Structures are given as C-alpha cells and as structure tokens.
A and B are shown apart, each in its own frame.
Chain A
Amino acid sequence: MCLAVPGKILQIEGEGPLNRIGDVDFGGIHREVNLSYVPEAKVGDWVLIHAGFALQTVDEEEAKKTLEEMERLAEVGGGLGPAELPDDTDDNDSRDGSES
C-alpha cells in the first residue's frame, strides 16, 4: 500500500478540482491517472503514482543531487564491495584499525 511508481505525464486530458486527468507512462505501460493533487504538474513532468493518483511530482533537481551525493560517497570511501568486506568473524583489521 505504500508502493508508488514514478511515471511521466504524456498528456493532460481533463481539468477540474476533483477530476484533473492525465495519461501517464510508467515503464512502458500507460494509464489514466488522476492529477488533481498535482495541479501544477505539466506534460513531461514525472509524478509518483499510487492507486490511480499522482501523489507528488518527482523533483528532478533533488533526484540529481541525491545520485551525485551517493556517487560522491563511492569516491570518498573507495567503494568497498561485499566481496572485499572483512569477514565478521575475522580478527584482522583491514581498514583503519578501529573495527572489532
């Protein structure tokens, strides 16, 4: 019930405070979605869809910032992958000496 999917508004088909309807594409399927809760959303915008409604516009600037921050962490950390992570039972410190 918490699951919502991002979709792109292809067309706005009707306006009205209760019945703003759009044709939205999500992952190749497109469907009629009630856009009344995103009155400012326009064609080409991405929205989060749940149970036939757009609940929010996807903030593309924020999405970019989040990905950049996550990628920056990779550079900072040197990106240890699970295969390289020390065994939990290992006594040897392989990083900065403060792990148990």
Chain B
Amino acid sequence: MKHVEEYRDPALVKSLSGQIHRITKHPWTIMEVCGGQTHAIVRYGLDELLPEEITLVHGPGCPVCVTAVSLVDRAVALAQRDEIIFTSFGDMARVPGSTQDLLTVKAAGGDVRTVYSPLDALQIARENPDREVVFFAVGFETTVPTTAMAVEQARSEGIGNFSLLVAHVLVPPAMETLLASPNNRVQGFLAAGHVCTVTGYADYEPVADRFKVPVIVTGFEPADILKGILDAVNMLERGEFGVANAYGRAVRREGNPHAWRMVQHVFEVCDRDWRGIGTFPNSGLALRGEYAAFDAEQKFKLDIGVTKENETCISGLVLQGAKKPPECPAFGTLCTPETPLGATMVSSEGACAAYYNHRKRVAG
C-alpha cells in the first residue's frame, strides 16, 4: 500500500536504528505523545532497536484513555434512556465507568451503536426523527474537525434530534503541564503527527523555546518513528531545541486551515479533567454558546451519582510515562482487555493494551 509499506521496509528500519546508535553519546529521555505511536513502538519492537542510552516514555495521547470517568458515567446515563440512541467510536464501548460501561448498557437493552464517523451518527438522527441521537465526541485535534462538521451539517439542515456529549482534548496544554512539572524527565518529544496535520505546529514553537526541548512532528510507521527519534537525538546531542517536521508528507506548518476554522467556529477552549491525571486548564473544547442546542449535557438533565475510579488501576501513571504497563501488579492478571480495570487496557491506543497484545502477558 502506497505511503505506508515503504515506511515498514526492514532495511530502512535497520539503517535508521543504526544511525541512531552511531550518533547517541549521552542518555536521553524522549516521550512519544500519541498512543498510536506507542502501539507502533511496542508492536514493531522499535524500543528494542535503540541504544540503551535512550529511554522512551509513553505519553497521554490516547483520547479514549484520558476521557474522565464522569464523562463515561454521563454516557452510560444517556445510553440508559429509552428515547436516546447513544452512538460512539468503538473504543469507548468497553471503557469502565464508575459502575459499568456502554457495552453493559447495550447488553441490558440500551440502544448503543458504534460508528466509524460522527457523520454516521448524524445519518442515524436523520433516519430516526422520533428518537434523540447523541454522539460521544471523544478525540484530540485530529478528530475535532469531524465532529464540528457533523454539528454544522445538523445546524444547516435544521436537525433537532442530534447532540454531542463533548469530551474533546487538546495536546499542547498537556505537553506544557508535563514539561512544567518538577518531576519531569522528558527531554524531547515526538509530537502526534495527525494532530499536527490538522493544527499545524506553530503552537509548539513557544513550548519548545520556553522549555528548550526538541519537538519533532512524527508519523506512525516504523521508519517515521525512528526518523523522529533520530532527529530528536541529533538536536539533543548538539544542544539544540525547537520544532522540526519529520512527517512532511502529511503535515504542513499551518496545518489544515479549512479544518481548524470549522473547529473554531463550533468549539471554544475550556478546562478538561484528564482521567487518572487531573485537570489541565484550557486543555479541552466545548461547544460554543450558539451551538448549545447540540450539547447533550445541556439538553438532558443527568444525575450520575458519585464518580469512582478503580483503586488498583495505575493508568494515570502510565499515561504520564511514570510507569510502564508491565510494572503494574494487575497487568495481565486482574487486568486484561476482557476485564479491564482502566481505559489504557481497552483502547486501541492505550499503552497497556499495546503491551498486552504484543509483549509479555504478566506483570514483572
């Protein structure tokens, strides 16, 4: 497949890892932000191709993983209502809430449907004018333009039975908070390539400058990830910092202005609670006032009761790169993709799922 296979070429992977070995003289800690990158690293064993001096730390770029438990509980509450068809991306279906997940609601008779696109959810609304359709709007900047367009189409067609439960999150504020933390060990970042496809990377320049770190916009195939690491190590070894683009085929500095303009039209910045981590100010998006009719939280009065998180789950530490999944005592035993304690074991971008599926099956 063009634009994919070439970046999985074993010879290319070998030469890039060889080059990294050649230039690495000092220890460095690099974080890949996106869960999709974590999966590629674990699946292809890219971390094992690196010199010992380089520590890769997995970041919080898994939107399913960082969606607050209270939002999952709201989703469950909405899905339980007879008049609502609750739609979401497939990944969210098995994310544990305080007491249950969406799949359990479905099993009990709730109308829960997984969709590939928010446009599919809107189509369900068109086809079921007597029911209310709610879409669980989870995702980083990559996904936001797609939910923004669904809402804009709904508005332009006068569709009144469609709304979003908004859970969108933004990457740069999370990166800044991690960098500003006194415990931070991360010296360089692989920025999430597809987030930057949409937003561009100008916003990362002040972050790179203030904290004096390399931020390399990186793709998702093995050669892309190794190239990102190579570029980061090159800068680190030379004492340089700033933003560089290693994913030029998909990312331009200005991003996609058409997409981002639509996002700004429909959404505005808000604070967001990141599951297992805490509140990052200005790290979320909410529907703007004129789109209030499309906000499920305003449309439906919800009583979700007390929010609780599983006490054994250390997802928050995994998402901040402080622990690796196999270090969790529950990994592979109490916690598996079939019986997850937290979201990182169920999401296709969750680090725990990556290790479970591609590495050792038990803790230690």
A50 touches B143 (CB 8 A): yes
A53 touches B64 (CB 8 A): no
Contacts A1-B142, A2-B34, A3-B220 given; indicate if A18 touches B248 (C-beta within 8 A).
Answer: no
A50 touches B3 (CB 8 A): no
A88 touches B142 (CB 8 A): no
A39 touches B117 (CB 8 A): no
Chain B residues lying within 8 Å of A59, measured Cβ to Cβ, are 248-250, 252
B245 to chain A, nearest CB (A): 9
Contacts A1-B64, A46-B2, A51-B117 given; indicate if A77 touches B22 (C-beta within 8 A).
Answer: yes
Chain B residues lying within 8 Å of A50, measured Cβ to Cβ, are 142-143, 146, 194
* B300 contacts partner chain A, Cβ-Cβ < 8 Å: no
B36 touches A73 (CB 8 A): no
Near A by CB (< 8 A), chain B positions 62-90 give: 62-64, 89
Chain B residues lying within 8 Å of A4, measured Cβ to Cβ, are 142, 194, 197, 250
Most buried by A among B119, B192, B197, B249: B249
Q: How many A-B residue pairs have CB under 8 A?
A: 172
B227 touches A66 (CB 8 A): yes
Cα A82 to Cα B50 with chains together (Å): 9
A residues neighboring B (CB under 8 Å) = 1-6, 8, 18-19, 26-27, 34, 36-39, 46, 48, 50-53, 55-56, 58-60, 62-63, 65-67, 70-71, 73-74, 76-82, 84-85, 88, 95-96, 98-100
* 10 interchain residue pairs of minimum CB distance: A52-B117, A80-B18, A74-B15, A62-B248, A63-B249, A81-B14, A6-B3, A79-B15, A88-B52, A2-B36
